[in-house]
Chains A and B, each alone.
Chain A
Amino acid sequence: MASNAAVPFWRAAGMTYITYSNICANLVRNCLKEPYKTEALAREKVHFSISKWTDGKPEKPTLRSDSPVE
């Protein structure tokens, strides 16, 4: 099942469709006028802590956060 059409540029760059749509959504949000713009951007903050486990041992968790670490 090889794709003979050209792969879209974002997939060739290593992004998934989700990353691509998030970037596009951010672009649309940036097009808003104030004050809606700051409200929308404040709504979409991301924060979680992810830790990968190998062989039953956890590695150091990485914090993915847009909000500043206090």
Chain B
Amino acid sequence: MAMAALRREGRRFAPLISPRPITAFRSSPLAPTREAEGPIGVRYISTQVVRNRMKSVKNIQKITKAMKMVAASKLRAIQTKAENSRGLWQPFTALLGDTPSVDVKKNVIVTVSSDKGLCGGINSTSVKISKALHKLNSGPENETKYVILGEKAKAQLVRDSKKDIELIITELQKNPLSYTQVSVLADDILKNVEFDALRIVFNKFHSVVSFLPTVSTVLSPEIVEREAEAGGKLGDLDSYEIEGGETKGEILQNLTEFQFSCVMFNSVLENACSEQGARMSAMDSSSRNAGDMLDRLTLTYNRTRQASITTELIEIISGASALEG
């Protein structure tokens, strides 16, 4: 009867069995602290091993929970900035329009990504969209180049688009993001890269759980002229009066530079918000998974412990009955 109980215990352990040869040796009556083997047919996973795993999973859970809190607080700080920065580029879109379908010879795709990892899938989506844009815009006389912000996009794009990369910018978030920083960056890009149209790919922050990849297009002044002749929104530019001693071309150049800087500022901020939000949800799901894992390990541990206690009792009782009988 005792053997039948043991055999039942053994069968429950079948999925956890670590492959070791069954010997006829009986384990010592002490609590199994190493790979324990009971009577023939029964193999236990050692409680020490399970305890170690539980400790490490619990530590991981604590760390991911802490990361989630940190991300939440950073998100709060940067979200107000991002929402305020939206007012910078909206007048530009009202004036000059945002035409992603413009067909130009020299495209430059600016991919905004994060430097740090553990933030879910947002960097991969940005890179995917950038690659799709590249394909979309490559025709017989068109050329498309990348300007990469952030380590994560750099790692992914360097693998297969090496010859199309123009500039790589990293370590952007060492100081809290400000317009000065982004404008110096935009200035560097403008000085180093020839472009007809700049397409900025970033993750727009809609809410803590939703970040949509978006593309903002900024055209160079010559292309704005060209499109203005074609009519449409840009064609209304001529109806504006220009004060001061500047010409329209002069103003357009200033405007496009400023537009690029504003749009970059907004996109960098929104991407930072999305990064923190994505990190929050990633760390949240990771701590929940760790909790589930911990529950399962606790069950295993208890079963192992109870089985070893049962084994001990059986040995004692059978020993005692052998003495009597």
Contact = CB atoms under 8 A, between A and B. Distances in A.
B165 interface: yes
Interface in B158-216: 162-163, 165-172, 174-176, 178, 180-181, 183-188, 190-192
Quick one: which of A3, A6, A46, A52 has the most chain B CB within 10 A?
A46
Of the four ranges (under 10, 10 to 19, 20 to 34, 35 or more), the interface on chain B belongs to 35 or more
Quick one: which of B180, B192, B225, B253 has the most chain A CB within 10 A?
B180
Interface string A1-25: 1111111100100001111011001
B181 A17 contact: no
Contacts of A52: 166-167, 192
Contacts of A2: 249
Contact of B162 (A3, A7, A25, A56): A56
B261 interface: yes
A46 B169 contact: no
Given A49-B171, A64-B188, A44 B245 contact: no
A56 B225 CA distance: 33
B258 interface: yes
A5 B178 CA distance: 34
Contacts of B247: 3-5
Contacts of A19: 187
Interface residues of A, number: 34
A7 B250 contact: yes
A50 interface: yes
B249 A3 contact: yes
Contact of A16 (B176, B190, B250): B190
A18 B190 contact: yes
A18 B187 contact: yes
Nearest to B162: A56
Q: Give the 9 A-B residue pairs with the shortest CB-CB distance, closest first.
A: A56-B162, A56-B163, A44-B180, A17-B254, A17-B257, A53-B165, A47-B174, A49-B171, A3-B247
Given A1-B222, A5-B245, A46-B180, 14 more contacts: A1-B249, A3-B249, A3-B250, A17-B254, A19-B187, A21-B183, A46-B181, A47-B174, A47-B181, A48-B181, A50-B169, A50-B185, A52-B166, A53-B165
